[in-house]
Structure 1
Amino acid sequence: MAIKIKYLLVSIILNGFIFIPAQQQGDTLTQWKAKFATLGGVPKISSEGTWIGINKQYKLGGDSAYVVSTKDKTIHKIVSTGVLDFLNEEGVFGRKADQLQFLNLKTGKIYQYNNASNYYRLDNLNRYAIYSRDKHLIFYDLTGNQLQEMADIDGLMATDSKSKLYVVRQSEGKAKILETTGKRQEIVYSTENRISKIELTPSGKQLLITEVQIQKGHNQLTILDSEHDYKKVIQLNVPSKSELSLTEIQNGKYFLINSRVRFSEEQSSLVDIWYGNDPFVNLHKRMYVNNEYWLWDTIANKLQSLKIQENHVLESLNNARYFLTYLPRKDYNFNTFTPDINDAYIFDISTESLTAIGSLKQIPTLTKGWRPDFVGNRFFCSKNGRLFLASNDGKNWSLFSTSGKREALIEKFGLEKPVFTANSNQIYFESSDDLWKYDINRKKLTALGIAKGKKVEIKNQTNEFGESTLNSFLPEDSILLEVYDNYSNKTFYNMYRKGKWKEVVPETENRIDSDHLLFNRNMTSFYTLERNFNQPPTLYSYVNGHKNKLFNAGIKDVEAQKIKQKIYNFKAVGKNLRGILYYPIDYDPKGKYPMVVHIYQVQRTLSNDYLSPNNVSPVGFQIRTLLERGYFVYLPDIEQGKDGPGMSALECVNSALDALLKNPLIDQDRIALLGHSYGGYETNFIATQSQRFKTYVSGAGFSDLISSYHSYSYQYVKPFYFFYETGQFKMGDSVAEDKEKYLLNSPILNVENVKSPILLWGGKKDENVPLDQVMEFYIGLRRYQKQVIALLYKNGNHDFLHHPLEEKDRDEKILEWFDYFLKDIKDVPWINKQIKKKAPF
């Protein structure tokens, strides 16, 4: 191992240890990894942009959080393991389990509350309330002075987070709702029924109360006008055990009220009966019956019962007259992850008539790294409630009026999530090739030419979600756009305002995750959390075109700056692909080093991910640790061609390795291949076809496409064939339609051809890739007397992310496996029991 003496001395001085052979490391590796911290989670910015809250995280706990001034770089530390919550620009809340802290941002003083169950902000009054586990609710001002205390509060509360908090007190057969501001309180409602739930509408103008009337055998929905003396405006009887939901229409002028009961039936203790024509198949707990709907006109205070076909559902299109209705899961046979909506109708409540709009399918989208996904909401509604978008073929968008008339077919494949303008005259479409604008009046689609060949995402739209509908529109005349180059992995941000485009964050090679761009209310200042392979996460500000380092929590990683990365280009399956090669830290340019290749799908998006040894992705693969131990690490892209996933992976990996043949530092005779889950499948397949690898490690990998295709997934709670036809495997056809492709791409059918030792691992509690798939490959390898060891973890799930003992043992054994076969470190007893065949068991 050619690690320089200089590095070893520096490591002794800075860290108090050196890397020693794997079998002697014990806790040394763990202690080294524990020293690495990172900034992460979801950063939060105060509404005016004066403060940013961010978490500092460690692998073994000890997390904390910081609040950073964007004006003068004042820094406060606060205990928190979650997202920080600001009270205006005056204070911030941090929480860890039942320990709560409030930091006064003006004085820097921290007020701590133990045994806290929850807290509530009253922003307009500059005060807050703490609800403790002993059912006490105590109000405080910003300086920690106690204002009011209320006892025997049972935890049912609702707040507008501005000036009012509602609490329920139930005793002696009566229930009371009290409205309190922290200084005064008054009873706003009293009932002899038990109250099971209270909540405010999004506008805060109505208080919703669910009452249980046991003797009468039904529940009651009571709605109070919280703006006008708590007048009772609605009282509605609904079935007992029903779930109630209210959907705002036209900014709260109307509400669609839905009462539904979760399906239940008496189960036999002897047998479960599964029917072949059941579109729910073991998902009956997600099935609802007794759907009832009402439209509530809040202006006229009129409640109208809406009668629909039995078992159908009704959904808002942000219109008070026209609604979407359909039979859930009609003709669904689990070919896709989520059901299409077949035979949808528009229900006109004025005439009680139905207009057919056909069957609706999901539009595909490409996430970063060209991983296929789907736009989850199928109906995108305008702000004025007169239009919506949907797709009848899964390729092109159709523009409908809410009456059901199709106004236009937008014939352009590749248009992804649509966003209406505030005036509902135009629609912007995200895509993987530029931003597109559709002029509704002129029926004209135009590419804006600001991001040709790049993926765009609108960051400032307003989204109001329904079950299958989404009100999606822009605020006023502004667009904040993220532009991402799927090939180079670079990002920049543009803003459109007052008829002009302006670059607000210049193009960067640093990684900026989707929730790591922050901006103030007026979108005049922008902040990013950026990282790169050799740079820990750092908070930056972009103000008036100037980039400044704002905060990094004192995290330093001098060794990371030594990491060398090189991007290789290659072609396979008819596509231009890339591979990321990392060099060993402190490598000798005259030396020769082993290499570990990790595969999954397209991995170029990882080129700017900070290489902390504590990264949880890729699963079971410690890039940074391997670099420190004198290995090359290679992450090539894998795309799928016409011959199927296994054959495509083999072609891509061979081409990726060929691109490295001229690198004299890589020992071509000491290369290992590793993958997990889908990457484990690819590893299994390549192991049956290739002689270029000295060893393999496959985690939770599929081995038999036929048996897996015809299996039931307890992870996704449905038959698994969707995963092969339209999911990650992208086979396109069923087994019956293309048996040859499924057979050609099944590793188990060529298991006898494996030539190199392979380490398999899996969890006995894995519901994603059942352990049977790992065991089938192990049994096949054993039958043909191949060198194989399987690590079967009793409590392990799919990735061990929340199983630290299993994770630690697996990661150490994988490192020992690589050292054994690529560095000839042979004193590893658990491996020798397999390799040295005379060793006693």
Structure 2
Amino acid sequence: MIQNLLKLILLQMGLVLVSAKNQEDTINSWRAKFASLSNLVYQSKDANWIAIKKISKLSTDSIFVINAKNHGKTVHRIMNAQLLFLNEEGVLGQNEQKALFLNLTTGDTFHFNNVIKTYILEDLSRYALLFKDRRLKIYNSSGKMLLEITDVEDLPLSDSRNTLFFKNQKDGKNQVIAANGGQNKVVYSTENKIRKIQLISSGKQLIITEATTSKEQDRLIIFDTQSSGKKLLDLDIPKKSIVKLSEIQDGESFLIGARVESDESNDPLVEVWYGNDSYVNEHFMRFNEQKFWLWKPKSSKLQAIEVPKNNEVSSLNNDRYFMTYPPRKGHNFITSEPELNEAKVYDLKLNTLNDLGNLKLVKRIGKEWPLLLNHEIFCSADGKWFLASKDGVKWILYNCNGKIEYLIDKTGLEQPVFSKNGYYIYFESGDDLWIFNIKQKILTAAGIGKEKMTKITNYVSIRNKHTMASFLPTDCILVETLDRDQNVISYKLFDSGKWKQIIPPTENRLTNNSLIYNPDMTSFYTLEENYNLPPTLYSYDTRGQKLTLFDGNIRDNGAKRIRQEIYSYSAVGKNLNGILYYPTNFNSKKKYPMVVRIYDMQRHISNDYLSPNKMMPEGFQIRTLLERGYFVYLPDTTVGENGPGISALECVHNALDVVLKNPNIDQSKIGLCGQSYGGYKTNFIATHSNRFAAFISGAGISDNIRDFYSYNYAWNKPLYFIYNTVYQMNTTVSADMERYIKNNPILNVEKVNAPILLWAGKNDRIVPWDQTMEFYIGLRRYNKDVIALFYKNGNHSFMNETPEEIDASTKVLNWWDYFLKGKQDLPWIVKLMKKDAL
């Protein structure tokens, strides 16, 4: 009886494993009990309503729409859908071909089937649905159908305010129709084919591209969507042009670009790749012909921009000065994106060019992998200034005419943001927020985040090719500060000349896009989580007082029992951290095996909620391992002068030295694993370390020299740039052959001295699966204990609940159980260890 009772207790904990099949069923049924809130949060315009998805395996995923104004007292539950808020009145959702509209005032819900597309018309409090039978219907918020239109050809366009536009044919003519629920209006009619209709980003102008009978020209027509469809422009453009309008200073002017795509034909027999091709199989980005104009709607003035042939033109948010350059000049994929070589500022009034020379991408020094690069050119809201860099390290302030105004002599300044009035430039950095006074030419620290990473959260960015207008829409500044060492985040608001604490320092994780606020910045809401706290929606007032708004009724009592410790150590000249999680039912009198997972810097994920259903990292279920009696350790790894592999080895060994002072870790039962970049590091460490009892490597590089000379079909570019960013070699193979060889796992594959499980998806276009095959073949050649799993339909990462993810996750747990806990009844592993089994 005692034995049966013990089995029952263990079964409830997910620890009874009678057979491989029962084991899988037990894990899946245990995981199915856990729910969570998605980090994708929707909000209405004034943030009176917030919608969030609850993810659950036991019941259909649902969206909860919460009234933030009454502190969550009103909550509506609707089907899982992609949402559009109709002001504060309603919410429109679509999931595949099902749609619904929830009236937030009355609580009434209207359901629809066979829906292709949904639209909102904010100014009219209406919404529209395009059905599978090509009928377009417009409704008011009470569910009354106001208009039905049949035989709609293509997907309509919506300015989201008051009008839908769509193409139609009638009496042999091609038409563009405007509809809002009242009487339809024919905006444009022609006997020619209408190639395309599009709205500019603000929705204020409708662009129609018409194919004419001319062999040389098509036609561009622009209408004002805000004044009864008034025609604003009629322009001849090159045949089959792709047209783009870029707003200058909030629509006062427009840069019009008409580009004709490359007509290089695809030879069915052979692809020809030229050694001087700066596109390298990216011909979809090449244009045979380009024409540009400046257009001023108010004065109806149109002026051609005459720049050197084949040059690109980008907006500087100024109606006189423009950036021009030969696209991709000298680009050899050393950087992920092309730098601007031979850049010039074109003066439209004087028809002159001011030479800027070569401009460099600026590294975001405060970031680890990926070492993100800023755009080259950042422009002010008024178009008077722009920032660029000559060395990729320091910013230069230019006058709009291209003359150097001032070199800002400080490194580490990231993401420039101009103030609304154009008097200041704010810089994010890894050490405080920095403010540059343009008139006085003085740079000062704001003093709100010394030695902390800062991020401006409320700026506007409008990109046009290699330039970006970056500015604050108001006089307020909302800044995030992050203490990387402690993983503590907070938010401060600069308003009326003072800094106010909005979100006090918290160790909780604020997930992406989870800081919500109303336009006046008087109410704030956050979605927060921690390793022992399921995602929860909170509200804050301007005094920083915090209230729970919505928790989804998620009860994870087991999370409260999770124990975490942070260990500090040094490696490759840097201070690093490792996150240690204790087995859930830890007993200080016992020793436990430990699984180590590596990738890059990991301190920032110490506050990730440890849901058993978490998709990332792939094939590595932290919570499940803790429940099954493992320590789990996540040490930081980074790159020093010796290269990524050697540096990772030093980081991991030093991380082990500090954590193994814990007497409850069984030093003879430690496993190491990683996927992608972590897979490469695992491969390398497996060839150089004797401190692990087993390894698992997923989708990792085994031969970095072959990878350096590879072409990546996921990104359509050679991989040189990866070795200047991710792997931080910052040189070529020929220039530093010795360091590449020393960091190459395959060249030491014969030194692997513990069993290793390899896995990869055969549809992986990021890390080719044959890199895993190469490592497997090398291990076989030297009679090492290896099993490789090649998933026929697998990509680089496996989506949760796919057959690939379920199988890989199960086999990963099997592997650790066999080699770290001595479990023997796993036939697929026994076949490896019993040499004659096959």
Pick the TM interval, shorter chain. over 0.9
Percent identical pairs in the alignment equals 49
- Per the alignment, residue 449 of structure 2 pairs with 451
- Return the alpha-carbon distance in structure 1 between the equivalents of residues 791 and 224 of structure 2: 57
Quote the Cα distance in structure 2 between the aligned partners of 1:157 and 1:505: 42
Q: Which residue of 2 aligns with 1:240?
A: 239
- Name structure 2 gaps, 5 residues minimum: none
**Residue in structure 2 matching 1:822, options 796, 812, 820:** 820
* 1:31 to 2:29 alignment: yes
- Aligned partner of 2:741 in structure 1 is 743
What's the CA shift for 1:27? 2.6
2:75 maps to what in 1?
Answer: 75
Code of the residue aligned with 1:704 in structure 2: it is: D
Match of 1:775 in 2: 773
3-state secondary structure, aligned to 2:588 = coil
Partner of 1:126: 125
Q: Is the 8 A contact 2:14 2:30 kept in 1?
A: no
Instruction: Count matched residues.
Output: 833
Most deviating of 161-170 and 255-264: 161-170
Q: Aligned match of 2:731 in 730, 733, 737?
A: 733
Deviation of the 1:22 alpha carbon: 4.7
User: Measured at CA, do residues 563 and 803 of structure 1 come closer, stay the same or move farther in structure 2, by a change above 3 Å?
Assistant: closer
Paired with 1:101 and 1:141, the residues of 2 have a C-alpha distance of 13
Offset of 1:34 from its aligned partner? Answer: 2.4
Distance in 2 separating the partners of 1:429 and 1:723: 26
Q: Deviations over 1:792-832 (max 9, x none)?
A: 11121111227811111111111111111111111211111
- For residue 270 of structure 1, report the CA deviation from its aligned partner: 2.7
Match of 1:486 among 474, 480, 484: 484
**1:405-427 Cα deviation digits (max 9, x unpaired):** 01000011000000001110110
CA distance in 2, matches of 1:421, 1:521: 18
- Contact 1:170–1:194 (Cα < 8 Å) also in 2: no
Q: Which residue identity lines up with residue 78 of structure 2 in the other structure?
A: I
Q: Distance in 1 between the 2:159 and 2:597 partners?
A: 50
CA RMSD of aligned residues (A): 2.0
Residue 240 of structure 1 and its aligned partner are, at CA, apart by 3.0
Could you say if the C-alpha distance between residues 452 and 21 of structure 1 is closer, same or farther in structure 2, counting changes exceeding 3 Å?
farther
Relative to structure 1, the CA distance from residue 807 to residue 671 in structure 2 (aligned partners, 3 Å threshold; closer, same or farther) is same
- Residues 1:60 and 1:704: Cα distance change in structure 2 (over 3 Å): farther
AA aligned to 2:394 is N
Between the aligned partners of 1:275 and 1:644, the Cα distance in structure 2 is 32
Residue 45 of structure 1: how far off its partner (Å): 1.7
Single out whichever of 146-155 and 463-472 deviates more from structure 2: 146-155
3-state SS of 1:492 partner? strand
Give CA deviations for 1:742-778 in whole Å, capped at 9, x if unaligned: 1111111111111111111112221211122112211
Please, which runs of 5 or more residues in structure 1 have no aligned partner? none
Question: By how many angstroms is 1:247 displaced?
Answer: 0.5
The 8 Å contact of residues 420 and 426 in structure 1, kept in 2 or not, is answered as yes
C-alpha distance 170-648 of structure 1, shift in aligned 2 (>3 A): same
What pairs up with 1:10-25 in 2 under 5 angstroms?
A: 18=16, 22=20, 24-25=22-23
Distance in structure 1 (CA, Å) of the matches to 2:136 and 2:772: 53
Equivalent position amino acid for 1:752 in 2: E
Equivalent residues of 2:219, 2:237 under 8 A apart: yes
Report the equivalent of 1:66. Answer: 64
Cα distance in 1 for residues equivalent to 2:682 and 2:555? 36
Shift of 1:436: 0.1
Question: SS of the residue aligned with 1:659?
Answer: helix
**Which of 752, 755, 760 lines up with 1:754 in the alignment?**
752
CA contact 1:23–1:828 (8 Å) conserved in 2: no
Spell out, residue by residue over 1:64-118, the C-alpha distance to the aligned partner (whole angstroms, 9 max, x if none).
2010011321100111343x22111110112211111110011111111111111
Task: Say whether the 8 Å CA contact 1:168–1:176 is kept in structure 2.
Answer: yes
Deviations 1:645-680 (A, max 9, x none): 111111111111111222111111100010111111
**Deviation of the 1:12 alpha carbon:** 5.2
CA shift for structure 1 position 138: 1.3
Q: Match of 2:143, as an amino acid?
A: G
Kept in 2, the 8 Å contact 1:364–1:372? The answer is no
Alignment check: 8 A CA contact 2:43 2:516 kept: yes
Q: Which range moved further: 711-720 or 106-115?
A: 711-720
CA distance in 2, matches of 1:351, 1:363: 31
Deviation sequence 1:272-312 (CA, Å, 0-9, x none): 22111111111112212211111111121011122221211
Per-residue deviation at 1:184?
2.4
Q: Distance in 1 between matches of 2:491 and 2:629?
A: 38
- Give per-residue Cα distances to partners, 1:175-200, cap 9 Å, x unaligned: 22333321222223222122233233
Q: How far is the alpha carbon of 1:28 from its aligned partner?
A: 2.7
Deviation at 1:349, TM superposition (A): 1.3
How far apart are residue 479 of structure 1 and its match?
A: 0.2
Under a length normalisation based on structure 1, what TM-score does the superposition of the two structures give? 0.96
Distance 1:780 1:619 in 2: 25
Shift of 1:17: 8.8
Deviates more, 1:727-736 or 1:374-383: 374-383
Which one-letter code corresponds to 2:713 in the other structure?
Y
Q: Is the 8 A contact 1:19 1:629 kept in 2?
A: no
Question: For the residues of structure 2 that align with 1:596 and 1:796, how far apart are their CA atoms?
Answer: 24
Q: Distance in 2 between matches of 1:213 and 1:627?
A: 68
- CA separation of 1:367 and 1:64: change in aligned 2, threshold 3 A: farther
Cα distance in 2, alignment partners of residues 559 and 58 from structure 1: 17
**Residues in 1 aligned to 2:467 and 2:788: alpha-carbon distance in whole angstroms:** 47
Alignment of 1:520-559 (within 5 A): 520-543=518-541, 544-559=543-558
Matched, 1:586 2:585: yes
Q: 1:375 to 1:731 in 2, by over 3 A?
A: closer
| Cα distance between partner residues in 1 of 2:182 and 2:7 | 65
How far has the Cα of 1:562 moved from its partner?
0.9
- State which of 482, 502, 510 in structure 2 corresponds to 1:504: 502
Q: Which residue number corresponds to residue 266 of structure 1?
A: 265
Indicate the larger mover: 176-185 or 483-492. Answer: 176-185
- Decide whether aligned partners of structure 1 residues 233 and 484 sit closer, same or farther in structure 2, where only a CA change above 3 A counts: same
Q: Could you say if the C-alpha distance between residues 269 and 47 of structure 1 is closer, same or farther in structure 2, counting changes exceeding 3 Å?
A: closer
**1:11/1:422 CA distance change after superposition, 3 Å:** farther
* Contact persistence 2:31–2:613 (CA under 8 A): yes
| Matches of 2:777 and 2:625, distance apart in 1 | 30
Contact 2:365–2:412 (Cα < 8 Å) also in 1: no
Q: 1:836–1:88: structure 2 CA closer, same or farther, 3 Å change rule?
A: same
Q: How does 1:45-56 map to 2 (within 5 A)?
A: 45-56=43-54
Q: Is the alpha carbon distance of 1:659 and 1:686 closer, same or farther for their aligned partners in structure 2, counting shifts above 3 Å?
A: same
The DSSP-based 3-state class of the residue aligned with 1:373 is: coil
Deviation at 1:214, TM superposition (A): 4.8
Q: Which amino acid aligns with 1:221?
A: L
Aligned-pair distance for 1:23? 5.5
* Equivalent position amino acid for 1:432 in 2: G
Contact 2:39-2:513 within 8 A present in 1 as well: no
Amino acid at match of 1:607: S
